[in-house]
Chains A and B, each alone.
Chain A
């Protein structure tokens, strides 16, 4: 299947982008927005997104088929990992969830349509209207599509013209999602642009940034700082820095058949998107309790990762990345040979998955690609002490604890700086209402106009 050339990302790879092209695209997008998008109702947009979400879940949907056919080569994920990731994302994209998001972030589902009285304020004589940006630019970093696709959904809800700039080699899924929106409603598709170039190309970025009134970006602190420095003070900048995640399993939860279930859930989290996302657990802490000990849980997790590899193989790695995994393994094998404080379980004849048990509770960054550390800790206090080096950079904690313990742990984690706590097994499946890094993702795009009557 060849895609019609609706977007810059559809052009042949050797087609050269020019500043002039960017200027013209920006003007066209704004014009189309005024003509086709600015006056749409939320209900219309929600219905459209709901329909597109259902399309993507349909195994026969051509764009999904294309994503699964080309994704493994283009993005490095296996077909099964990709399919699961897409399902997890598009299952969230429903009218019901979109309404929840609107109510959560804006107080009322129709706040973008007309001035509303917000119940929560108790001010009957003040109405308020949410207004989205005119021209929203997304600087997408990784090839995990979820953050970019979510940004596109949110931008559409706010009636913004959108320009999605993808890093080289990562555009496939944003591009196909844009095509699905175009297919569902060509006029809305005409308010969207997807392009690819290596980040930092001033020739293209200067005119693009000059046209934007809002810019979202994911990336390293240095990338975000460099982007922010290029923007005029009038342009709203929403940067999402690098984050890491870990899991915390109460030893009391690891009893009977529940231990196996939790190992399976942890394996799902480690395997999702080959552990390349901010939400993927790098370390799994197991606290002391009357169930399995950490090293026993590590062994169960290894079995479940081996099983996951059978159904959802890890993607193929370039040699230099595989070499990194092999080198790390060789190092840990030496440690394990010297002390029972380190134990290693690993896929045979491949680098597909690795579980390292370490008695040292110090947080250790994984190199991704399904490499996970399991560490014991006496209690949650010891966990947080071990993770102190990454405090402030944690996104998600996957939690498995008896109910009476979970609420107390959640409060402790929140006050320590964790912005999302979810059950083990759902770390890479945040709901549409997820407050990205603890901030209202939709709400931050909005400017409010208050009407005091």
Chain B
């Protein structure tokens, strides 16, 4: 690993933080952070520089690029940078960090018993991760409220970091908690003996009820399934809460078979019905252990929620047939080019499907598990 990556990381953190102070930039709207905060030309220059460093310092990625015939000498634009599928993180060490520098590892929350993805971090890479996360989180989840974050009662429906040290989502929650100065008791989830996540229901309910009594707005962060667990629990007790005005919910991730599965609209309707938080105050987050930046989607009046990444990350929707970017309104695989993935791989190909929009994308499920239409056995993907 060269000091060039460290320099890159340092410069990127400064640049990301500067987007918060850019008075001349167009305002952040509900729809998202304008990409002009990080203009295309500038993004391209950063991306090509990072590609060159990762090509040099990430041995696994180096092989992938050489095999694809794409090297810093031939790649002219960030859209040509070779992507790595998220599944490759299960089998290969896609990192620029030498073994003795890998202090933290984030695992994907597997839906199967297969080995999880591994995304290695150390102090410097976590610093970039946290800067990226917090900057965009305050913009998208707490727009206009960054000065008064301390006024929120933070409710985190995940286990605390000690119980889930390899969860990037928990690390995200922990970053938010520390930056907000909220107590460790903000965690309302725990890992149950079989390894899955569950909620301390009594504690959650009393915490929310207390916030209602104190008229203190709640910032509730959780996965789809933990929210369903909470909402079902409230329903079983015939309980409806009316969280104080200004309360917000950020929901992320899927269900992974851990609860019944709801559509986004059903989940949001239940959140409104049981917690009293209107759809406009519910934000959807899209992230994964293989990335260091997140996309968010707020309610729109015109159609389905559109995800937009932080401006130092760009999503492309590509046709699975041709590998080329699809046209507006078409569906394809989501690729993410995340500058904040400094010490691993910037260019990631997910297994998620998105519908390309003018600025962002609408989530459209995942690659099918290819159930044969005939009568073959189901495949076992790698």
Contact = CB atoms under 8 A, between A and B. Distances in A.
Interface string A270-305: 000100111010100000000000000000000000
B320 interface: yes
B368 A320 contact: yes
Contacts of A323: 320, 332-333, 351, 353, 366-368
Given A327-B351, A331-B85, A349 B368 contact: no
Contacts of B64: 333-334, 337
B92 A334 contact: yes
A320 B382 CA distance: 17
B71 to A, nearest CB: 13
Contacts of B320: 319, 322-323, 325-327, 351
A330 B64 CA distance: 10
Interface string A121-157: 0000000000000000000011110010000000000
A328 B333 contact: no
Contacts of B319: 322
B88 A327 contact: no
A365 B382 contact: no
Contacts of A317: 321
B67 interface: yes
Given A142-B373, A327-B333, A322 B63 contact: no
Contacts of A365: 376-380
A71 interface: no
Interface in B352-382: 353, 365-370, 372-382
B322 A349 contact: yes
Interface in B96-128: none
Nearest to A77: B373
Contacts of B373: 76, 142-144, 170, 276
Interface string B50-61: 000000000010
A435 interface: no
Interface in A334-380: 334-338, 349-351, 364-369
Contact of B321 (A350, A364, A367): A350
A324 B378 CA distance: 13
Contacts of A278: 374-376
A2 to B, nearest CB: 26
A278 B353 CA distance: 29
Contact of B322 (A170, A320, A350): A350
Nearest to A338: B63
A407 to B, nearest CB: 28
A324 B322 contact: no
Nearest to A323: B367
Nearest to B352: A323
Interface residues of A, number: 52
Interface in A386-400: 390, 393
Interface in A215-237: 218-220
Residue picked from A141, A317, A338, most chain B C-beta under 10 Å: A338
Contacts, number: 144
Contact of A368 (B321, B365, B379): B379
B213 interface: no
B145 interface: no
B331 interface: yes
Contacts of B323: 326, 349
B222 to A, nearest CB: 27
B84 interface: yes
A368 B372 contact: yes
B375 A337 contact: no
A244 to B, nearest CB: 5
A337 B63 contact: yes
A332 interface: yes
Given A319-B353, A322-B320, A327 B85 contact: yes
A267 to B, nearest CB: 18
B184 interface: no
B375 A333 contact: no
Given A320-B367, A334-B84, A368 B376 contact: yes
B377 A390 contact: yes
A320 B353 contact: yes
Contacts of B374: 142-144, 273, 276-278, 280, 368
Interface string B14-37: 000000000000000000000000
A40 interface: no
Contacts of A242: 375-378
A170 B378 CA distance: 19
A183 interface: no
Contacts of A69: none
A349 B331 CA distance: 17
Given A322-B321, A324-B370, A337-B63, A330 B375 contact: no
Interface in A235-269: 240, 242-244
B54 to A, nearest CB: 15
Interface of A: 76, 141-144, 147, 170, 218-220, 240, 242-244, 273, 276-278, 280, 282, 317-328, 330-338, 349-351, 364-369, 390, 393
Interface of B: 60, 63-64, 66-68, 83-85, 87-88, 91-92, 319-323, 331-333, 349, 351, 353, 365-370, 372-382
30 contacts: A143-B373, A218-B375, A240-B375, A243-B377, A276-B373, A280-B376, A320-B368, A321-B370, A323-B320, A324-B367, A324-B369, A326-B320, A328-B382, A330-B83, A330-B84, A330-B349, A331-B85, A332-B382, A334-B85, A334-B92, A336-B67, A337-B64, A337-B67, A337-B68, A349-B322, A350-B322, A351-B320, A351-B321, A367-B372, A368-B370
